[in-house]
């Protein structure tokens, strides 16, 4: 499972970072904080339906349970840090129930996270990020509308079931909501159909598997919810503009 969804959910004082090139990831949320720093290129980031374009030295600080996604614009080289609220406990307690009005700010330099070999270095770095955010934006109450709560449930269902038979019909049955209501709500809140979202989610999970394990392309397809290799290849090329084999071979 890719670390975006589950990191920081059960662990305390967890800290994970990754360097990604030309990467995108669809709508998701998690209990952890997420910090995205652009080393080079451009990144389109959506956070609770607020749209940002990040360029070199820009950063996005995403709060727990904020629905967000990011997409590379032509080219991007980024560092992502995922960390649990326990690592910044004082900040977390002081800002529960609110989110940044503006999640984005700039940093002229970024440290080498590979050198962070102690919990104190990690906490010092993270509290510095908290301080930068606090001084750059006001905070607003978290939106708690029924529509957003339902959207959270749909996204969570996809995260837990994308590798199996996962349709809006099964979502509606599981959540005990009307199919037509969920279809309309999903499109209005995400600007895409449920099927489009599911395919994008599955393909980007497949991207991670192709780069990080030795599964065959057919096994990757099966593990990401595709029972038909032709459908997998077609969707992969449509979303990634190359075949799964081409994607795996690019260093």
Q: What is the pLDDT of residue 251?
A: 57
Pair 22, 72: CB distance under 8 Å: yes
Same domain, yes or no: 70 and 154: no
What is the CATH classification number for the domain harbouring 210?
A: 1.10.10.60
For 130, phi then psi, to 5°, come to -60, -40
Same domain, yes or no: 87 and 8: yes
DSSP state of 35: E
DSSP state of 114: G
For 12, phi then psi, to 5°, come to -105, 145
Which residue, 97, 107, 94, 96, is CA-closest to 136?
107
Same domain, yes or no: 237 and 124: no
Residues 6-65 have pLDDT tens digits of 444 445 678 999 999 988 898 888 889 999 999 999 999 999 889 999 999 999 999 998
> 15: Cβ–Cβ under 8 A, 6 or more apart, which residues?
81, 82, 83, 84, 87, 116, 122, 126
- Domain boundary at 92, 109, 141, which? 141
- Pick 10 or 71 by higher pLDDT: 71
- Domain boundary at 141, 173, 190, which? 141
Same domain, yes or no: 7 and 118: yes
Mean per-residue pLDDT, 113-123: 94
Question: Domain range spanning residue 23?
Answer: 3-141
> 133: Cβ–Cβ under 8 A, 6 or more apart, which residues?
61, 100, 103, 105
d(CA 223, CA 206): 8
Same domain, yes or no: 41 and 152: no
The structural domain count of the chain equals: 2
Please, which pLDDT band fits residue 218 given cuts at 50, 70 and 90? Answer: very high
Same domain, yes or no: 38 and 115: yes
- Domain boundary at 101, 118, 141, which? 141
Residues 129-163 have pLDDT tens digits of 999 999 999 999 987 778 888 998 999 999 999 99
Contacts of the segment 148-151: beta carbons below 8 A, 24+ positions apart: 148/67, 148/189, 150/175, 150/177, 150/182, 150/185, 151/67, 151/185, 151/186, 151/189, 151/190
């Amino acid at each position: 499972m890719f670390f975006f969804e589950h990191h920081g959910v059960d662990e305390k004082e967890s800290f994970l970072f990754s360097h990604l090139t030309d990467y995108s990831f669809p709508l998701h949320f998690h209990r952890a904080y997420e910090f995205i720093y652009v080393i080079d290129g451009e990144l389109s980031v959506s956070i609770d339906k607020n749209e940002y374009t990040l360029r070199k030295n820009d950063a996005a600080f995403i709060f727990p349970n904020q629905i967000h996604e990011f997409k590379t614009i032509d080219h991007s080289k980024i560092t992502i840090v995922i960390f649990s609220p326990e690592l910044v406990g004082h900040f977390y307690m002081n800002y529960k129930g609110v989110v940044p009005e503006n999640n984005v700010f700039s940093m002229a330099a970024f440290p080498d996270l590979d050198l962070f070999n102690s919990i104190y270095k990690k906490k010092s770095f993270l509290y510095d990020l908290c301080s930068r955010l606090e001084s750059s934006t006001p905070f607003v109450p978290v939106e708690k509308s029924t529509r957003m709560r339902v959207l959270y449930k749909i996204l969570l269902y996809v995260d837990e079931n994308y590798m199996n038979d996962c349709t809006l019909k099964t979502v509606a049955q599981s959540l005990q909501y009307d199919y037509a209501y969920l279809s309309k709500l999903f499109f209005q809140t995400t600007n895409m159909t449920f099927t489009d979202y599911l395919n994008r989610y599955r393909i980007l999970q497949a991207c991670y598997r192709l780069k990080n394990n030795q599964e065959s392309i057919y096994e990757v397809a099966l593990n990401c919810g595709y029972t038909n290799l032709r459908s997998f290849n077609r969707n992969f090329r449509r979303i990634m503009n190359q075949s799964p084999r081409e994607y795996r071979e690019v260093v």
